[in-house]
Amino acid sequence: MPFFQSPPVLPDTWVSDVPLQEHLERLLPVDMLAGVRPQLAELGRLAATTLHDLAAEAERDQPRHIPFDAWGRRSDQIAVSPAWEELHTWQVRLGLCAVPYDTEATGYKEHARVVQMALHHLYGPSSATYTCPVAMTDAAARVLLDHADVPLRDRVVARLTSRDPDAAWTSGQWMTEREGGSDVSRTATIARQGANGSWTLHGTKWFTSATTANCALALARPEGAESGSRGLALFLVERIDPRTGESQIGDTIRINRLKDKLGTKSMPTAELTLDGAFATPVGPVEHGVRKISGMLNITRFHNAMGASGGMRRGVELAVAYSRVREATGSRLIDLPLHTETLAAMSVDAEAAFALTVRVAHLIGRAEHGTATDAEQQSLRALIPVTKLLTGKDAVALASEALEAFGGAGYIEDTGLPLLLRNAQVLPIWEGTTNVLSLDLLRAATRNAVLPALFEDLAARLGDADVVALAESVRLVAAERDRLMSDAQGWHAADTAVVQAGMRQFAIRLGRAYTAALLCEHAAYRLAKHDDDRAALVARRYVRSRLAGAAEWSRPDPAESAAILMRGHAQPQGS
């Protein structure tokens, strides 16, 4: 018999994901978790079966631009895979964009974002990045609720947050232009007001993701407004002109071409020309950047959810393979160095989850008016930190996951290279690592948010005051002190030096805060369940990821095996 390698079998992603279950048990009220658990259990099964297959099909059957109809009329249709459309239907039914808003009906209230994250964590890695339109739709609902006039808000938000697949809309986000990506102050699109008071947009948008969306929030400069970002206003552009019921696509919105991207290939991203597209101002025609920054904060949170879910998927697949692949007479999972590698990946994935779910918890509180001022300040700093850290870690982990398959990880029809291609966008879109590092600096200097974050970190550590974590807590506290001292030195330092150091500062801050969260969670598990799995994870994270802790690090095969086996439950019967 010739040898054929058994492929890895993706397990039920809810049953397998012990960290997800444990963090939810700590963060959600008992009754609420009991209510949502059947949906999560069903979704875990679907993510490994139906959704997984739909995602693979959507990745194969990529969008096509059809510029003209058979008779030569400009039509600018984008043909997408039926599987992509089904993934839309699934996310609507799951309520991915509804959960944060229909919180009185569900009773989730300030916990809604944590529930949303649990759903996203399971759906996202099997969605062929349908999570991108989900992110922008959720974020558009947030901005319209916060800033739009009542008629626009009432007409559109109900669509964006609908649980009915026939009624639900998606939204895009049209910011980036040839002149400016990160620097939106160079936006060249003009908004012109007609004699009847209505507005039209004129210009080119260079990246528009999920271009088949029903509407998009777009930045434009009203004619005569000042240059720079202060002169920009925010508009909602609808694919169907609400005054006439006619499509604007192929007419006042022309699709120049689809982008040929490294990844996210199932999702159409286009260059557009706006040639008199009807648009509705979002509130007064001013402060467009301030308004759209509310959108960015939500999409950056989604980016982190995507990173965290993708990291877990990479580990799941690598672990599944290690159970069926043999080398030198052993299964890979039984080889000490491979176990060590998989355990490190597992710890990084759980760390990304812990950090992002903390942001979910704080956004939920902020949206429901229960966050303190200090929590809001902490959140302002945490969003850029979380986005940049998880984005970078997601790429590193995806690369490691491919490597765990050896040559098979480099071969397209295994489906594995997708993991890396789709991860690589995470540190780029919604603000690169450097842009977000400088956003943190701006929030720290303009809004003085760091003291609140340092206090918050100290409070997490305060909850972890147990013997089993004493050395980890000491190391995290020492790193916090160093970070505080570094930040205190900024006012006397050369601006260029401070800016040049911001990426390193932001990453160190993210790691220290994450370590504190893992310690807090570990202490809870020890106290409530006499379970030390999370303590092993917290200690390993501190040893491997915290500056100044390297000398404490030494291989511990038994610990690595425990982290791995106890963090990945095997479904019964397998």
Q: How far is the CB of 240 from ligand UCC (least distance, A)?
A: 22
Residue 248, classed as helix, strand or coil, is coil
- Pick the closer one to ligand UCC by CB: 160 or 333: 160
Return the structure tokens found at 10.
């993706």
- Nearest distance from C-beta of residue 266 to ligand UCC, angstroms: 12
Nearer to ligand UCC, 62 or 432 (CB): 432
**Torsion angle of C-alpha atoms 450, 454, 456, 458, degrees rounded to 10:** 180
- Min separation Cβ 289 and ligand UCC, Å: 4
* Tokens linked to 251: 């007419």
Residue type, 549: A
The two three-digit tokens of residue 254, written as one number? 């022309």
Cβ neighbours around 555 below 10 Å, total: 9
Least distance (Å) from ligand UCC to the CB of residue 501? 18
State which residue has the least CB distance to ligand UCC: 306
CB 426, min distance to ligand UCC, A: 7
3-state SS assignment for residue 480:
helix
Nearer to ligand UCC, 421 or 566 (CB): 421
Q: How far is the CB of 233 from ligand UCC (least distance, A)?
A: 12
Where does residue 450 fall: left (phi above 0), alpha (psi -120 to 50 degrees), or beta otherwise?
A: alpha
Q: Which positions touch ligand UCC (CB under 6 A)?
A: 131-132, 135-136, 173, 175-176, 182, 184-185, 207, 209, 229, 287, 289-290, 293, 296-297, 299, 302-303, 306, 429-431, 435, 439, 442
Rank residues 316 and 430 by Cβ distance to ligand UCC and give the closer one.
Answer: 430
**What is the nearest approach in angstroms of ligand UCC to the Cβ of residue 114?**
17
Nearer to ligand UCC by Cβ, of 382 and 512: the residue is 382
Q: Report the 10 Å Cβ neighbour count for 530.
A: 7
Residue 246, CB-side half-sphere exposure with 13 Å CA sphere:
9
Interatomic CA distance for residues 104 and 548, integer angstroms: 46
* In the complex, minimum distance from the CB of residue 12 to ligand UCC, in angstroms, rounded to a whole number: 22
**Which C-beta is closer to ligand UCC: that of 161 or that of 229?**
229
Closer by beta carbon to ligand UCC, 310 or else 409: 310
Environment class of residue 240 by beta-carbon count within 10 Å: exposed (0-12), middle (13-18) or buried (19+)?
middle
Rounded-to-integer distance, Cα 203 and Cα 450, Å:
39
Largest CA distance in the chain: 81
Place of tokens 């994270």: 541
- Smaller CB separation from ligand UCC, 75 or 499: 499
